[in-house]
Structure 1
Amino acid sequence: MPKPTQANAASMRALLERLFPLHRALVGPGAQQTLEAIRETLPIEVSEYPSGGKAFDWTIPKGFSVNEAWVEGPDGRRVIDYADCLYHVWNYSQPFSGTLSLDELKAKVRTEPALPDAVPWRFSYYREDWGLCASQNLMDSLEEGDYRVHIDTELSPDALRIGEYFLPGESDREILITCYICHPLGANDNLSGTVLGVELFKLLRQLPRRRYSYRLAIWPEGIGSIAYLANNPERIKRTLGGYVLTCCGDPGTLHYKHSIEEGSLFDRAALHALEHCGQPYEIMPFAFHRGSDEAYLSGPGFKLPMGSIMHTPYGQFPEYHTSADDLDFVTDEALLGTLQVYWNALMAIEANRVYAPTYQTLPFLSGHGVYPYDLGAGDGSLMVMAADAYYHLMGFADGQVDLLSIAERTETPMELFARPVEAFLRVGLLRETEEDG
């Protein structure tokens, strides 16, 4: 059975550094370059949805790119330059050239006073406008006078691109794992989930047997999930639910955001994995406002249960949507720890079954050759938790409750049931009553 290791952390770091400087937008050459870079490490397939096409109530946007953008001060010196920071220009800013007073310039430049040295990221997706961003300290240092502004952007027909990697299982019922690539930089808010998703699927493809089918979807947040829903109705019918990967790499406390179907299999598996990860965690309710792609995937007509395991949630760390969300903000320890929790959650789902006993009262395990003597049972000494799992399984398995329920009730890690389940099935003490849970 594969498990996350430090090698996975190193692989995630390498991909993070590769993707970080690319000039991403919802649609455009930067998004395409990002998917091409991911394809070098995982053979994703890319679907394209042309600009101007409809997806339910939405329209696929044009492609966006920045050729150059700068502001020259009264002395002719450049005080803002897109070449220095990709957040200096609003995503989807209209082109603009002109001369402004300092007050006029300040009205078009966004800052983040709480982080005065950082440049915020802003966008203007669905209204035509132009704008810039800069650090608060820079704007405070500017003197009165005329400022020459030049923004050379292109908004032209292109295609929204979704990268997918599919792993078939014994069942055609799919578990959907999503992540997003919709703006430059954003090591934690934008890319940590993407590099973790890639690594997660490298591990999944090593499994000799997969009960469910798994699909990784990499898209621009929001409009990507909408386009996916609109163009894959039959696939959606086979989708059980899944997880949205984001904010996986900062050093903050682990969090779990519930799916819309609170108590879903995905909620239970995630919370089980978190309970046994050895770290503190907090639980968040599902919400459509201030959400990510789960808001669209769980919307009317679909209601897919999509949970999210993360560190500090989006919008709750000061570096969010600023240039301070950089490569140094994301730690290898946090990435690997989050990967381990996601892996354990998926393995809990894979192992979850309903088992019915073929015996009455508790069976004589020694007579069947499956008593766990090697785990400390049978001589009056204190048994280890792995031996306890034998008793939990033979006592609580009743053909009604699933294995995850037994694990939750007894506070036992799911992985400890693998050995007694195999032993009891082998000697005919249990039979499986469900193929899909």
Structure 2
Amino acid sequence: MNAEGNFVGFPGLTMPGEKNSQSMWSMMEALFPIYRSLLGPGYKDSLDVIDKYLPLEVTEFPSGQEVFDWTIPKEFKVNEAWVEGPDGTRVLDFDIHPYCVWIYSQSFSGEMDLDELKEKIATDPNLPHAYPMRQTYYREAWGLSAPYDLVEELKPGRYKVHIDTDLYDGVLRIGEAYLPGEVEEEILINSYLCHPRGANDNLSGVVAAVEIFRMLAEMPDRHYSYRLALWPEGIGVIAYMANYPERLAKTIGGYQLGICGDGAPVSLDQTFAGDTIFDRAVKHAMEFCGREVVTRKFNIYGGADVLHLNSVGYRLAVANITRGGSRPGGYAEYHSSADDLELVRPEYLLESLQVAWAALMTVERTRRYKGTYQVTPFLSKYGVFPYQHGWGTGGQGTVIGNAYYAMMGEADGSKDLLQIAEDNDMPIFAFDECVREFSRVGLLEEVEQP
């Protein structure tokens, strides 16, 4: 890490930097004002914004379609919502903050006393100045939210409540991008795009996922194929899994990026198995940046869409790279109007991107090799002795030079490259040159993973 706490990089790996940070922040600022829900016009508008940064293919699934045990809901739109006090002053107004009405709230118009009104208003005494975010996706109800302090100051009397919403048949939209690789096996990068004004949860994850895909697109060579999917939380991934069994058959795992911009440590929500290459790669990336990664075992109560991807019948090796989302109860501003652009810090967002990038590049390199030689090969004969890295000169060899020797001694096909790197206490990226050179002169051959 450098003085600012960001990665300084690994041998052979170019890390995301200020340009990527600026791109993500520009996306955040463009997306934040848009009112989104599971299905609705704001979701489409958000995908249109992202399409300016990364071309997307938008797939649509109709309301009413059955996907496993679930049914895709209707689209949701708020026309207006407000509450007027006894003196005619509006004490709540959707135009002031959209969280004042529950997401997917039914319409309602009527009058009621203050005590009755309070029963319909969600508040959070722990965040007395913030609107809680509440939703009623799968049950018919109406409801309001307000800052605790505001509700405590309301005067007795009659209040007018007016909620005008539309729930209508429409489509669930998923924004996708695909990058082919040397093999058809796919790595999935996903995030959820549905909270109306959640900067950390989860625009931070969305912009990090988009930016990492932009970086993948710039790679001249990719071993694996990659797919990006931006969907509404829960029902989006379920619809994807129900409609694309052939894709899932080719998906070896991946990463969800969610809640990536707050000040909590970068964390790993593990896959169901807990020891897949996708789990190991995050831990490896964090170890060699000088930080111990915070891990949490697979938990059915958290992790958003990794729950479904790792579910019974699938067990896809998709892990979650997150920050405050891994802590019990989330972070203090979770699901509230306090989760705004003031909460997310560009340097934390960049660090999350750097962890995800280093982990993905670790996965790219984690293959299995077997030497074609018997006994220690005479490297000078092949023109690949690491003189340029300090070996054979009587001085101290560099880590890249050391990788030549580690690879030469361990490449019998029994370990993947990540295991060899870890057993020698070296970053996997230090092996790039020796793998390339040994393969070029015929000293190494790639073998299938067991």
Q: Partner residue of 2:64?
A: 52
Q: How big is each residue's C-alpha offset from its partner over 1:130-151, in whole Å with a ceiling of 9 and x where there is no partner? A: 0011111111111111111111
Q: How big is each residue's C-alpha offset from its partner over 1:225-262, in whole Å with a ceiling of 9 and x where there is no partner? A: 00001101111111111111101111211111111122
Give the residue type in structure 2 aligned to 1:5: G
Q: Partner residue of 2:142?
A: 130
* Shift of residue 342, structure 1, vs aligned partner: 1.0
Change (3 A) 1:3 1:290: closer
Confirm or deny that 1:287 pairs with 2:299. Answer: yes
> What is the correspondence of 1:272-421 to structure 2 with a 5 Å cutoff?
272-313=284-325, 315-421=329-435
> What is the correspondence of 1:30-69 to structure 2 with a 5 Å cutoff?
30-69=42-81
2: distance between equivalents of 1:100 and 1:290?
38
Q: Partner residue of 1:260?
A: 272
Q: Report the count of equivalent residues.
A: 436
- Contact kept? 2:186, 2:226, Cα under 8 Å: yes
> What is the correspondence of 1:61-80 to structure 2 with a 5 Å cutoff?
61-80=73-92
2: distance between equivalents of 1:430 and 1:29?
54
SS in 1 for 2:188: strand
* Shift of residue 396, structure 1, vs aligned partner: 1.4
Give the residue type in structure 1 aligned to 2:400: A
Confirm or deny that 1:92 pairs with 2:104. Answer: yes
Q: TM-score, normalised by structure 1?
A: 0.97
* Shift of residue 161, structure 1, vs aligned partner: 0.6
* Shift of residue 81, structure 1, vs aligned partner: 0.9
Give the residue type in structure 2 aligned to 1:410: N
* Shift of residue 2, structure 1, vs aligned partner: 5.7
SS in 2 for 1:175: strand
Which residue of 219, 243, 257 maps to 2:231? 219
Q: What do you get for the CA RMSD once the two structures are aligned?
A: 1.5
Structure 1, gaps ≥5 residues long: none
- Contact kept? 1:120, 1:322, Cα under 8 Å: yes
* Shift of residue 360, structure 1, vs aligned partner: 3.0
Confirm or deny that 1:248 pairs with 2:260. Answer: yes
Q: Bigger shift: 384-393 or 234-243? A: 384-393
- Contact kept? 1:254, 1:280, Cα under 8 Å: no
Runs of 4+ in 1 over 4 A off after TM superposition: none
Confirm or deny that 1:159 pairs with 2:171. Answer: yes
- Contact kept? 1:63, 1:158, Cα under 8 Å: yes
Confirm or deny that 1:424 pairs with 2:448. Answer: no
Q: TM-score, normalised by structure 2?
A: 0.94
Q: How big is each residue's C-alpha offset from its partner over 1:114-161, in whole Å with a ceiling of 9 and x where there is no partner? A: 111111100011111100111111111111111111111111111111
Give the residue type in structure 2 aligned to 1:17: E
Q: Bigger shift: 53-62 or 361-370? A: 361-370
Q: Partner residue of 2:6?
A: none
2: distance between equivalents of 1:138 and 1:307?
40
Q: Bigger shift: 334-343 or 273-282? A: 273-282
Give the residue type in structure 2 aligned to 1:425: S
SS in 2 for 1:87: helix
Identity of aligned residues (%): 51
